[in-house]
Structures are given as C-alpha cells and as structure tokens.
Chain A
Amino acid sequence: MSATIVDWGTLGKVVLYALAGGIGLTLAFSLALHGAVRSGDRRRHGGAAGRAAYGVLAAVGGAVCVAGVVLGLQVMLDK
C-alpha cells in the first residue's frame, strides 16, 4: 500500500539530488581550496608549472561551486 501512497520515485530524486548537490559542493570547494593553497606554496618556493596547474584547479573548483549554487537557485525559482 505504501508503494502507491508514498511517491518513492520523487523521494529517490530528493535523495539523489541532495547527495549530489551537498557532496558535490564540498568536493568542488575543497578542490578549489587545495589548488589555491598549493598554488600559493609554489609561488613562495618556486615551481612555475606546478603553480599554474594548481591555479587552474583552484579556478575550476571555484567555478564549479558558483555554477552549482546558481543552478540550484535557478531550479528553485523554476516554479
């Protein structure tokens, strides 16, 4: 009976999207932070190639974070 009363499909989407959104946000932000800190360390101690690579990682991670938040809010506003 609960199979018809509870919309498990929609509830499953809630679980999936919340896991993807919450973990994805932390993953992207942690990667951005990792890139930013490592890039700063390379700047102080030399290593231009590594510095550039970590800089790109920081930029991509940051961009994914911003895009994720904007996408989330856009979905919310789509009434």
Chain B
Amino acid sequence: MSGDLTIAIVVATALAFDFTNGFHDTANVVATSVSTRALPPRLAVILAALLNFVGAFLSLAVAATIAKDIVDQGAITPTVVFAGLVAAIGWNLLTWYFGLPSSSSHALIGGIVGATLVAAGSGAVEGDGILGKVIVPALVAPILAFAVAGISILVAYRLVARLRPGPVGRGFRLGQLASGGLLALAHGTNDAQKTMGVITLALISNGDLPKNAAVPTWVVAGAASAIALGTYMGGWRIIRTMGTRIIKMDPAQGFSAQGGGAATILVATHFGYPLSTTHTISGAVMGAGAAKRLSAVRWGVAGNIVVAWVLTLPAAAAVGALTYLVTDLFPSGAAGPAIVSALMLAVAGVLLARRARQAPAAPLPESS
C-alpha cells in the first residue's frame, strides 16, 4: 500500500515535470514561426501542442536510454527516482527565478544520478552510459544544429538570391508550416520520452514491471498528454510577451533554423540520444543568424549555454542527493515523498508569487 502511494506520487511528479517542460519550451518551438509571421501565435501554439502530443508516440529509443543506460535499474528505488525529479523541478524553478538558462533534460539526468550516488553508491551509476549517451551528444548536438542551419541558409540564399523577394518570403513562410511542424514533432518525441523513461524506471524499481521491460502504453499516453498540455498552457503567456522578446529573422532563416533543429533532434532521437532540445534549437537559430551576419547572433546567449552545460549536471546532482537524504529521513515509505512534495509546492508557490510581483512579464526559462 505504501509502495503504491509512493509510486503514485512519483508518477504525478514525473508528469508535473513533463508539463513544466512543455510549458517552458513553447517559446522554442513556436517563436521562429511567429517571428517570421508564418503562423499567427494562437494557431502556432495549438499546432505545436498537437504535434508535441503526436511526436511523443513516434519513438521509444530515448526512453530506453533513460531507463537502462544512466543508472543500474536493480540498485535504485522509487524514492531515488522521486528525488531526481524533485531536483530537476527545483533546479529549473531556481534557474527560472534568477533568469539563468538551464536544460530540463540535463537537470533530470543530474538529479537521478545524484540521488543514486547517495542511495546506492557510485557502482550503481552507469558512468560509461552518461558520458557516451548524454555528455558527448550534449556537446555535439548544438554545434551540429548550428552547422546544419548555417549551411542550409547559405544554400537557400544562393538559390533564391536573384528572385523577387515577395514570392520568396511567401514561399518560405509556407515551407515553415512543414519545418515548424517537424520541429514540434521532434521536441515532443525527445522530451516526452525522458519522462516515459523515468516513470518506467520507477515502476521497475517498485517491482511493478520486470527489469528491462518496455514502456507501458499508458505511460506513453500520459507523458504525451502532459507535454502537450504544458505546451498549450505555456503558449498563452508567450502570446502576451511576444512583442518584446521575439527573435528577428527572415522566413528563409526561420525555415533553415527549424529544418536544422528538427533534423538534428529527430536523427538523435532515432539513435536514442536524450538531447537538450533547447540547446539544439538555440544552436540552429544562431547558425541561421551567423551565416547572414555574425553580429546578428546573441553571443551572450551562447556563453550562457556553455555555462549551463558545465553547471546543470553537477548542480542538479547535488540537489538530487540532498533531496534523497531529506526524503529518506522519514521511516514510512510514502511519508517522505509526500512531505517533500508539499514543501516543493510551497516553495514553488512563494517563488512564483515573488516573481509575479517583481515583473509581470518575466522572461521564460530556457529549458529542456
């Protein structure tokens, strides 16, 4: 009974994490289409939410990586998974409050690793899997997306240079319906699978699923719904703040950035690499901007991303370890997660209220 309650809290926390992931990332997915006027904001948000939902059903390779290649399935407990999730949500909330860019994916993996370290020791952490499937791909993906989008825009400008700008702009805007759709699919498939992997890991650790079990269909549907709902809800805030924070680019750049980002994420997803979709999309947008004019790129953002790469994994691991130690203080299985959840909700409420008082249109965090 206690185990069932614990697992219910873990699943609810994982879905909450997935919702916040979609909520934060709406800007990444729709900003390019909206800035080039390829789509009106409202329609862009609705389409992004629908395609995030569909995208979550496309593949399970990333979910398998999260469930099998980060930590030893046999050595962890639902409390470890819970601590990892709380660390990811807490770290995201903290970085959002202080306006620092952060990756939800890296925070989640860092949180799980930190909690596993204190719960089961370093032997339970799959160091090879983390280096080979998380850290190296995390470095490669944004650079790859930068290169793909940069070369793409040079090719596009070369081919349409002598054409009348009116029909070219309209053509690329039309093309953005497809490239923007692919980007939303890519985002849904890579990010929702991280939650699927974590829930599967928790179910295995609680004995509800055998070791190396496939992701249950209800987990796929739940994660798909949570990220789609988060994307949809996050969109209304984006629409309100769109006028001041939008990225300026022409339709050809928008098409190239979306195509480059989508191609990188979809291919990496197929091979089971859990990427930071925010970093990848940011890399693609910077690539499309840099190819036209180096000064068009916000290099400060690039610097912040590098800092986030270095900082997020160890910081989230530390928060995950601390959360596990606090949760484990309570002798009853479900009491720790229930009390920590209540504390986290209270802290989140205070931070949200303070932020709302300070700046009604606060910048969105960069996540995922």
Contact-residue bracket for chain A: 35 or more
User: Considering only CB atoms, which chain A residue lies closest to B264 in the complex?
Assistant: A18
B151 interface residue (CB < 8 Å to A): yes
16 of the cross-chain contacts (CB-CB < 8 Å) are: A6-B132, A11-B136, A18-B144, A19-B148, A23-B152, A25-B263, A26-B155, A29-B156, A29-B255, A30-B156, A33-B163, A33-B172, A36-B167, A37-B168, A73-B58, A76-B59
User: B172 touching A21 by the CB < 8 A rule?
Assistant: no
Give A75 to B271 CA distance when docked, in angstroms. Answer: 11
Interface flag for A14 (CB, 8 Å): yes
Further 4 A-B residue pairs, CB within 8 A, beyond A26-B156, A79-B61: A18-B263, A22-B260, A65-B175, A76-B269
A31 touching B270, Cβ below 8 Å: no
Knowing A11-B137, A37-B163, the reply to whether A2 touches B131 (Cβ < 8 A) is yes
Number of interface residues of B (CB under 8 A): 48
Tell me how many residue pairs across A and B have CB atoms closer than 8 Å. 121
Bound complex: CA A14 to CA B120 (Å): 34
B147 proximal to A (CB < 8 A): yes
Contact string against A for B residues 257-300, beta-carbon threshold 8 Å, 1 for contact and 0 otherwise: 00110111011111101000000000000000000000000000
Alpha-carbon gap, A36 to B137, bound state (A): 39
Q: Is the interface of A mostly helix, strand, loop or mixed?
A: helix
Beta-carbon contacts under 8 Å, B172-196 to A: 172, 175, 178-179, 182, 185, 189
- B346 part of interface (Cβ distance < 8 Å): no
Which residues on A sit within 8 Å (CB–CB) of B269? 76
* Contact among A25, A37, A73 for B259, CB-based, below 8 A: A25
Which residues, 47 to 79 on A, are CB-close (under 8 Å) to B? 65, 69, 72-73, 75-77, 79
